[in-house]
Amino acid sequence: MNPARLIDGRAAAAGLLETVKEDVAKLQASGVSVTLAVVLVGDDPASHVYVRSKLLRASEVGIRSVEHRLPADTAQATLLSLIEALNSDARVNGILVQMPLPEQIDEGAVIATIAAEKDVDGFHRENVGRLVLGEPALTPCTPSGCLFLLEHTLGDLSGKHAVVIGRSNIVGKPMASLLLQANCSVTILHSHSVDARELCRQADIVVAAVGRAQMIDASWIKPGATVIDVGINRIEIDGRTRLVGDIEFESVSRVAGAITPVPGGVGPMTIGFLMRNTVLAAKGQSLKSVSAKPAQREILRCRATDRVSERS
């Protein structure tokens, strides 16, 4: 069997960011300065790294960003007041609160406070509900990136059997909804699933979002299947820290038809879709100020592979 085709997330994200950049320029020309507010609470080093790369990407595509750094002992009420102020600030199009938050702050309350139309992470219950109902929505960035890579690799996904391993609110569940909307037959596996390996081996598409290093080896994969590895796990090999996915890459790449690497697969798409969601939010808000209906169409017609620039 030939080795699997490598799905290049860095290249796909670069293409996506080009279209986002074009859209930002068009909005700028029409008087809208696309703006993302980023809120970072506390000193978590990984969060600081993520925020830095999001701000860098934003500036590369011409999105203005406003950073709010709050100390680790910030009270929940203070954070919610800041979000409410950002909600009412017409210059702000998207609001991102970097997770995880310090333990005194309820993440659910934070997500619920962000205005749905500025919810560029796609976590607000209004956006979650729209996605499940099959209505257009701002959709979570990581699963949107996975769908983009799948459609980029396979074209039309209709009729494919997709297995999603993991059912978190930020990856597994929205991934399953997006695949269902793309007319796949979807199976969701989780820690209570029985015969998970056998079920997975029936899949044309496997999306692994478990958070367990190299859990899925070749015995889980049907020959020729397309495999998307969301997992990001750090392991020690010979005294060195390595980043690996939930897929055991060496063996699976000998069986699969196509596979994403870690790093360089899903990761770059997540930030790409954060930028795309910020532009969609800005478009929706600027149209809304003229007429509600086109605004809805714009934000809500939101298949992951829609080129933002094609819809302007």
The one catalytic residue in 21, 118, 119, 121 is 121
**Of the two residues 144 and 181, which places its CB atom closer to ligand NDP in the complex?**
144
Residue 166, interface with ligand NDP (CB under 6 A)? yes
Contacts of 233 (CB under 8 A, 6+ apart): 211, 212, 213, 214, 243, 244, 245, 246
**CB of residue 95 to ligand NDP, shortest distance in Å:** 19
54 as an active site residue: the answer is: yes
Among 62, 122, 172, 257, binds ligand NDP (CB under 6 A): 172
Place of tokens 């934000």: 299
β-sheet with 5-6: strand ranges across? 5-6, 258-259, 226-229, 205-208, 161-165, 185-189
101 binds ligand NDP (CB under 6 A): no
Among 19, 93, 270, 278, binds ligand NDP (CB under 6 A): 270
CB burial readout 253-285, b (16+ within 10 A) else e: bebbbbbbbbebbbbbbbbbbbbbbbbbbbbbb
CB closer to ligand NDP, 260 vs 285: 260
Q: Which stretch binds ligand NDP (CB under 6 A): 26-34, 103-111, 131-139, 263-271?
A: 263-271
List 211, 286, 296, 303, residue binding ligand NDP (CB under 6 A): 211
Answer positive or negative: Cα dihedral of 136, 84, 106, 267: positive
Chain centroid to CA 52: 17
Which one, of 176, 20, 36, lies nearest residue 119 by Cα? Answer: 36
264 binds ligand NDP (CB under 6 A): no
Instruction: Please give the residue ranges that form the binding site for ligand NDP (CB under 6 A).
Output: 142, 165-168, 170-172, 189-193, 196, 209-212, 230-233, 266-267, 270
- Annotated catalytic sites, by residue? 54, 98, 121
